[in-house]
Each structure stands twice: as structure tokens, then as C-alpha cells.
Amino acid sequence: MLKKIGFIGTGVMGSSMVKNLLKAGYEVHVFNRTKEKAAALTEFGAILHKEISTLVKSCEVIMTMVGFPSDVSEIYFSEVGIIKNANKNAILIDFTTSTPSLAVDIYNKAKEVGLSSLDAPVTGGDIGARDGKLAILVGGDESTFNEVYPILNVLGNNIIYHGEAGNGQHVKMCNQITIASNMLGVCEAMAYAKFAGLDQDKVLQSISTGAAGSWSLTNLAPKMLKEDFKPGFYIKHFLKDVGIAINEAEKMGLETPGLSLSKQLYEDFASQGEENSGTQALYKKYVNKL
């Protein structure tokens, strides 16, 4: 049974995922560029490392959850990174939402040196990470997926294998495309209710269980109404994902006008200093006419 896990990237999502792994009895080694975020997890039993190279040499499974594809490339491919320093037969799992081509590149380079890798982006936000109820979208070898399934099962409750390397990232793009237009609808509906003089909480109660129901309506609309714009998912990271999705769609000759509109609105909002807010903060653009 695999027991020693390394986790790189202990931000909003990663820190909750680490806590759940510790609660399940795994030995978890942690690293984060902002040392304080990783150090805070030592009180829960995590083992702190100052360098990625020492972390990966201590672990059988190395998990990553960082911000951007450039961060993924650096921590996997640098001389002091994962692939150069991991023990033979280690399993690498990248939870970051990144590009399908980078996932394939990691898979191929890992295989060359006797490592296995999975691209396993997640969805469910900070709430799903906290509660161990993430959806985990997995690409790579099925045998590797089966080997680490018990670990993934600690982190999520909807874990699906989607085939070859890169497919997990493609599925995540489907997820982000769905969210992009849906978030505009949620913001506009809540703004409409406000401008019409309705009780927004009652409106939310009425529409959230019908045909309009969605995760964003149930989990993010209440935050909008409480003016809670703290990030469960940063706008800057959402824009990164939307950009990847648009690029991938263009390669396939697919037009995505809803996705393009969402990108335009979020870019305008981010330029007003909101890039570190949660995606639900776009609601302010409507009610405050920003």
C-alpha cells in the first residue's frame, strides 16, 4: 500500500487536500513557494520541506496543485524538480488545471525515467476540497489510476478515468466552458432580482432546485448576496483556464462565443484590480455598474 505522499502547492485547495490525506492516515510531505502556507500544515502532522528535490526523494506518490502551466513546467522539468529527482517507480499526479499537451509531455518524460504520471485536474472548489468531495478527472495509464484510486478516493467522491494522458485536462476544459457561461447567468439573475426589488434570498430558494439549478447557483450565489468575494477560485486562475479552453477549441475548429464573452467580461473586471477575488465577485460588475 502506498503511504508516503508529497504534496507541492498548499494554497486554498491544496491545504484542504493535505489535511484530508493526513486524516486518512497517510504520511504527507509538503512544499510551497510561500513557506508560511506549507508550514501551517505541520501542526496537522505534515512534514515540511524547503526544497522540492528533498521532498520527492522521500515519497512514493508526488502530487502537485499549483497556479499556471509555467509553474507546472518548472516544478516538473527543472534540474531541482520532480522528474530529475523522484525515486524510480514513483507516481506523479498533477491536479493543476493545465494544457493537455503539457500533460502528455510530463507523461512521456516521466515514462522515460521509470516514473508514472496522471493528469488529474479537479472541480468542486474550496468547498469540495475541504469536504473531500472533489470531482477528479483523470488521464494516463489505467493501471496507474487503479493503483492510486484509494488515495484519490480520500480527496473526491466522483473520480472518473478518461483514458490517455491529456484527456483529464480536456475534460476539465469541458467543465470550465460550462462554468463560464453559467456564472454570467447566475450574476445576471441575482442582479435582476435586486433591480426588480425582489427578496434575493427567496428568489434563490425558488430557482435553485428547478431547471436553473447548478453548483454555482447553489454555492456561489449565496456568497454574492452576503458580499463574500473571497476566492474559493481566483479570477486570475479562471482566466488562465478560459484562455486554455479557447486555444484548444480553436485548434479543433470549434467556435465558443459564450466562452469568449465570459473571458471579455472577466478580463475587464480583473483590470480593475479584482484578479485576486473569487469568481463570484463578477456580480459586483452588474450591481455596481463597474
CATH number of the domain that 51 lies in?
A: 3.40.50.720
Clarify whether residues 88 and 48 are in a common domain.
yes
Clarify whether residues 223 and 237 are in a common domain.
yes
pLDDT of residue 84: 96
Clarify whether residues 41 and 9 are in a common domain.
yes
Domain boundary among 123, 147, 164: 164
For 102, the grid coordinates are 503539457
For 132, the grid coordinates are 473531500
Clarify whether residues 21 and 153 are in a common domain.
yes
Say how many domains are in the chain. 2
Clarify whether residues 67 and 114 are in a common domain.
yes
User: For the residues 21-45, what does the mean pLDDT come to?
Assistant: 94
Clarify whether residues 46 and 157 are in a common domain.
yes
User: For the residues 164-175, what does the mean pLDDT come to?
Assistant: 98
Domain boundary among 109, 132, 164: 164
What range does the domain containing 88 cover?
Answer: 4-164
CATH code at 176? 1.10.1040.10
pLDDT of residue 108: 98
pLDDT of residue 125: 87
Clarify whether residues 176 and 145 are in a common domain.
no
Clarify whether residues 122 and 152 are in a common domain.
yes
- pLDDT score of 55 more than 90: yes
For the chain, how big is the Rg over CA atoms in Å?
20
Phi, psi of 49 (to 5 degrees): -120, 145
Phi, psi of 213 (to 5 degrees): -60, 140
**Residue 42 confidence class, pLDDT cut points 50, 70, 90:** very high
Pairwise CA distance, residues 121 & 134, whole Å: 10
Pairwise CA distance, residues 244 & 145, whole Å: 25
- pLDDT score of 1 more than 80: no
pLDDT of residue 35: 87
Domain boundary among 105, 132, 164: 164
Pairwise CA distance, residues 41 & 10, whole Å: 9
User: For the residues 1-13, what does the mean pLDDT come to?
Assistant: 91
**Residue 3 confidence class, pLDDT cut points 50, 70, 90:** confident
User: For the residues 58-67, what does the mean pLDDT come to?
Assistant: 96
Clarify whether residues 31 and 126 are in a common domain.
yes
For 91, the grid coordinates are 507516481
Pairwise CA distance, residues 268 & 37, whole Å: 30
Clarify whether residues 128 and 246 are in a common domain.
no
Average pLDDT, the chain: 96
When mean pLDDT is compared across 24-33, 35-44, 154-163, 177-186, the lowest value belongs to: 35-44
Nearest to 82 by CA among 28, 7, 169: 7
Clarify whether residues 34 and 125 are in a common domain.
yes
Helices within 24-141 (DSSP H only): 35-39, 52-57, 69-77, 82-85, 100-112, 125-131
pLDDT of residue 290: 57
Q: Is 172 an active-site residue?
A: yes
pLDDT of residue 2: 75
Per-residue pLDDT tens digits for 228-286: 999 988 999 999 999 999 999 999 999 999 999 999 999 999 999 999 999 999 999 99
User: For the residues 222-227, what does the mean pLDDT come to?
Assistant: 97
Return the higher-pLDDT residue of 56 and 37: 56
Out of 50, 133, 172, 236, the active site residue is 172
pTM of the predicted protein model: 0.93
Clarify whether residues 222 and 281 are in a common domain.
yes
pLDDT of residue 16: 97
Per-residue pLDDT tens digits for 104-133: 999 999 999 999 999 999 999 889 999 999
